């Protein structure tokens, strides 16, 4: 999937998959949490310049987080102003465009974490990271912080790009297999003619053995993307032997338009499948309805469809975004028809009967402020519910965007954002529903019915030290693994 943080006049591009606030009023104890791994980035704007450091922390259940990896402090003389600037968007994941930590993933049983650190891709602004050799690479560690070891060198492909309006667009990176024995990601590698291109690669967690899975020919990012955008990014393992990834490559002539398509391939490199793009009815056209027997592996996608959006945030974003359910790779159902630009971050419930997504629409008359909220809907498009009631101002103009232009707040769901046993939903937001996040971003948890809202991190956001020195602290990148007793 792809996450987007929006900078000044930045645009949001296609994002691929994935009631009242509060809870606990009935006295019941909320379900136990799983494993939360997150990078905390802290900066200071001193008179000498910009100073920043990062730490990877892991929280198991309700225990205090443990710090398992810290990178050296970095400074940029004469740029003290950049500390508050870097926190203005209140989106912690944007740190990957300048700092060492590039990706974090938690194993499906919550017992271990992998992460990547590198000093090759600091861009916005370029920082002299200068990591020592032993801190560069892809690493594995137990969730309790023990057993840290290096699996191999970092990827030679970045997991993000800077769009034309200085926003940070983040693509999916490290992904665990269901057993936790293999990790997939995008890296550089040769095609069949020995030309280097973006490829899907795996690492065996036990041995560190690296295997190139695809042999795609070099590709060019589609229109609207910068030339240095990744042409391959890994979304998830569909099963132990099948990897889902997105690419604009044209294997066997199956993607002649060169758009980003969700493809699948077996871990041994066989069985590459390129699905047909989702059909969109143009003005005056119709979609023929048919009754079919649905399968048990639905995927939720956020799709850009033609038309003029009904909302008008302070950014000129092309197209309308709606939620579609794709079942068995061929049965397609449009779940929303909000006509807005910022219907985002869809994830299918573990029961495979419901879809959760973020939107700033008011389809039920319960979101008059048009702030970003979490909604649920069943897989057939019925029983729409609003699960949150975040309310920053009387009328939000930014919807679900993370931007300093206008007021309001956003919500972001990761691809793996639900505990399969407790069904707890975990998400990032710069909203302040509990009065403890006035100027920053935090990771929260909530139940599928909208009850039991909890704040899982305690980053300080944008503030000042006692002497007036500006400070900033945000979580991200981050990942969640389920509770497995």
Q: How far apart (Å, rounded) are the C-alpha atoms in residues 463 and 437?
A: 11
What pLDDT, in 10s, does the model give residues 266-315? 999 999 999 766 655 544 444 444 443 445 678 888 888 888 888 865 55
What pairs with residue 472 in β-bridges? Answer: 43, 462
- Encode pLDDT of 374-393 as tens digits: 999 999 999 999 999 998 78
| CA nearest to 205, candidates 135, 106, 120 | 106
C-alpha triplet 177, 265, 207: angle, nearest 5°: 40
246 contacts 263 by C-beta, under 8 angstroms: yes
Pairing of strands 320-327, 344-348: unpaired
Q: Which helix (H) or strand (E) holds 376?
A: strand 373-378
Q: Rounded to whole angstroms, how far apart are CA atoms 249 and 215?
A: 10
Residues (pLDDT < 50) of the chain are 1-26, 282-294
Report the side by side order of strands in the sheet with 385-386.
344-348, 354-359, 373-378, 385-386
Tell me the C-alpha distance between 75 and 295, whole Å.
53
Three-class SS of residue 96? helix
> Which pairs count as long-range contacts for 458-467, CB under 8 Å and 24+ apart, including other chains?
459/40, 459/92, 461/87, 461/90, 461/437, 462/84, 462/87, 462/88, 462/90, 463/439, 465/44
Q: Which helix (H) or strand (E) holds 299?
A: strand 299-305
Give the full edge-to-edge strand order of the sheet including 112-117.
Answer: 101-106, 112-117, 137-142, 149-152
Q: Give start and end residues of each alpha helix (H) in 4-126.
A: 82-87
Both structure tokens of 449: 């019915």
Domain ranges across the chain: 1-8+33-173+465-480, 180-185+193-277, 295-413
Strand partners, 470: 464
442-446/425-429 β-pairing: antiparallel
Cis-peptide into 477, omega within 30 deg: yes
Q: How far apart are CA 208 and CA 213, in angstroms?
A: 15
What is the reported pLDDT for 463? 92
* Closest-CA residue to 420 (of 485, 482, 353): 482
């Amino acid at each position: 999937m792809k996450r987007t943080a929006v900078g000044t006049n930045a645009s949001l591009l296609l994002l691929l998959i994935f009631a009242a606030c509060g809870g606990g009023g009935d006295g019941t104890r909320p379900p136990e949490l799983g494993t939360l791994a997150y990078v905390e980035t802290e900066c200071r704007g001193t008179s000498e310049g910009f100073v920043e450091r990062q730490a990877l922390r892991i929280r198991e259940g309700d225990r205090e987080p443990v710090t398992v990896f810290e990178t050296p402090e970095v400074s940029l003389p004469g740029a003290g102003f950049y500390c508050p600037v870097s926190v203005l968007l209140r989106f912690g994941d944007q740190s990957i465009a300048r700092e060492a930590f590039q990706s974090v993933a938690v194993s499906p049983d919550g017992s271990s974490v992998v992460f990547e650190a590198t000093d090759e891709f600091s861009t916005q602004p370029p920082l002299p990271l200068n990591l020592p050799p032993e801190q560069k690479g892809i690493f594995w560690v137990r969730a309790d912080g023990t057993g840290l070891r290096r699996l191999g060198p970092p990827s030679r492909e970045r997991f993000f790009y800077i769009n034309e309006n200085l926003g940070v667009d983040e693509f999916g990176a490290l992904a665990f297999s269901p057993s936790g024995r293999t990790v997939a990601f995008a890296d550089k590698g040769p095609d069949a003619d020995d030309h280097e291109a973006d490829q899907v690669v795996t690492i065996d967690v036990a041995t560190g053995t690296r295997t190139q899975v695809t042999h795609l020919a070099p590709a060019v990012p589609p229109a609207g993307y910068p030339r240095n955008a990744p042409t391959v990014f890994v979304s998830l393992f569909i099963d132990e032997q099948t990897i889902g990834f997105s690419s604009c490559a044209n294997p066997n002539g199956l993607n002649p338009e060169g758009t980003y398509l969700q493809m699948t391939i077996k871990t041994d490199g066989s069985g590459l499948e390129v699905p047909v793009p989702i059909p969109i009815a143009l003005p005056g056209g119709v979609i023929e309805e048919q009754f079919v027997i649905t399968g048990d592996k639905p995927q939720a996608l956020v799709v850009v469809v033609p038309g003029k959006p009904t909302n008008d945030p302070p950014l000129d974003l092309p197209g309308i975004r709606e939620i579609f359910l794709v079942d068995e790779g061929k049965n397609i159902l449009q779940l929303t028809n909000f006509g807005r630009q910022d219907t985002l971050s869809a994830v299918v419930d573990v029961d495979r009967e419901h879809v959760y997504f973020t939107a700033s629409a008011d389809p039920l008359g319960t979101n008059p402020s048009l702030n970003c909220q979490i909604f649920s809907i069943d897989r057939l498009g019925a029983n729409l519910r609003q699960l949150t009631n975040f309310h920053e101002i009387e009328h939000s103009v930014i919807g679900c965007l993370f931007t300093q232009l206008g007021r309001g707040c956003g919500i972001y769901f990761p691809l793996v954002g639900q505990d399969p046993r407790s069904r707890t939903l975990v998400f990032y937001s710069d909203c302040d529903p509990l009065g403890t996040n006035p100027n920053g971003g935090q990771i929260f948890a909530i139940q599928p019915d909208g009850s039991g809202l909890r704040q899982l991190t305690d980053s300080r956001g944008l503030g000042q030290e006692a002497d007036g020195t500006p400070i900033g602290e945000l979580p991200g990148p981050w990942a969640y693994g389920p509770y497995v007793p």
